[in-house]
Amino acid sequence: MRKLDSSVPHRLGRRTNFIPPLKGRPAQWAEVIDAAADREARAAVAQASVATVLIAGDDGSPLVETADVGALKGLVPDRLCAVRRPASHQEMTNYISRVCVPSEGPDARAVWCESFNEMSHLRDLLLTVRPTQVATQAMRLEWVFASGVRSHVPDFLLRTAGGHMTLVDVTTVTKVEDPKLRAILQLTSATAEGLGWTYEVRTELPPQRVRNLNFIHASGHDTLQDRLSAARKLRQATEPVDVQRASELLGGGGKGFMRLWDLLAHGVAHVQLDDPIERDSLVTSTQPAGGASWRHAL
């Protein structure tokens, strides 16, 4: 099989798939929606599901593998290639991009995002969850019904330092109320639950949070700073530390602010991301709780 490269031919805005098409006729939506609405029924459907993935072989060439859902417990995100990829086209309204992500492998890694909404959420997850491995468009989940099959490609798969896996779908407030999409998300949730994974459905982030994420994402480049020592200095302050005071403790002036932004970008220090970052914004050593209105309960 050919190796995947970073360029994709134009497909008039359609995704380019790297795995064989799904076999079988589509299941009737009425049956899918009814099964997804019943906890026991959707758990049974999820337990019998299969997944198709694209795994990098020893020589880097991607290999298609299909297995029962139980085999997903052994997945390593660093070895997963995207099963599909967005393709740009003239006058497209969406925003596709690549984002550098952490990796436990020897090589640097970047993954695809299919929209600005996805990119913002991935930056949010990188900052707040601090994953050690990330894959996007990493698998096609397939569920079998009496009338046919249905499938879904979740957006993100993340693994943290403790080995816990989180599956994430990013959509919009208007789309998530569609009964068909809601049924697919419920089946995905049941599948993740059966694997012991966390599953999140996320909708649009508040504009201020997006602005803060973009700013912090672009600020993590002080490679000479001893981040752990700098964070310890902030923690040892006898009074609550705001942005102005933190910058003074870190050297003052522009250098102090740059060092603080770098600490925020690497998750060593934190501010409230939903509010404007001002000089009197509180700087903490742990992630402050937010409203998380973008996390959608199914």
Q: What is the pLDDT of residues 240-286, one digit of tens each?
A: 999 999 999 999 999 999 999 999 999 999 999 999 999 999 999 88
**Using 50, 70 and 90 to split pLDDT, how confident is the model at 16?**
confident
pLDDT at 95: 79
What pLDDT, on a 0 to 100 scale, did the predictor assign at position 282?
96
Token pair in block for residue 236: 């040892």
Using CA atoms, how far apart are residues 109 and 170, in angstroms rounded to an integer? 21
Q: Which pLDDT does position 85 carry in this prediction?
A: 85
Structure confidence by residue, pLDDT tens digits, 196-241? 999 999 999 999 999 999 999 999 887 789 999 999 999 999 889 9
DSSP 8-state symbol, 10 = -
Tell whether the model's pLDDT for residue 21 goes beyond 60: yes
The average pLDDT across 59-82 equals: 90
pLDDT given at position 14: 56
The candidate with the shortest Cα–Cα distance to 296, out of 174, 116, 212, 141, is 174
Measured torsion, CA atoms of residues 25, 30, 31, 36, in degrees rounded to the nearest 10: 120
Please tell me the predicted confidence (pLDDT) of residue 10: 43
Give the pLDDT band of residue 69 (cuts 50, 70, 90).
confident
Place of tokens 């803060």: 212
pLDDT at 147 > cutoff 60? yes
| % of the chain residues with pLDDT over 70 | 93
Residue 260 structure tokens: 């603080």
Choose between 107 and 15: higher pLDDT: 107
pLDDT-derived band of residue 88, with 50, 70 and 90 as boundaries? low
77: helix, strand or coil: helix
Confidence of residue 193 (pLDDT cuts 50, 70, 90): very high
d(CA 48, CA 94): 35
Q: How far apart are CA 163 and CA 158, in angstroms?
A: 9
- What residue spans of the chain are helical by DSSP H? 29-37, 39-47, 116-128, 173-176, 179-195, 207-217, 227-235, 243-249, 253-265
In the predicted structure, residue 145 carries a pLDDT above the cut 80: yes
Report the mean per-residue pLDDT for the chain.
90
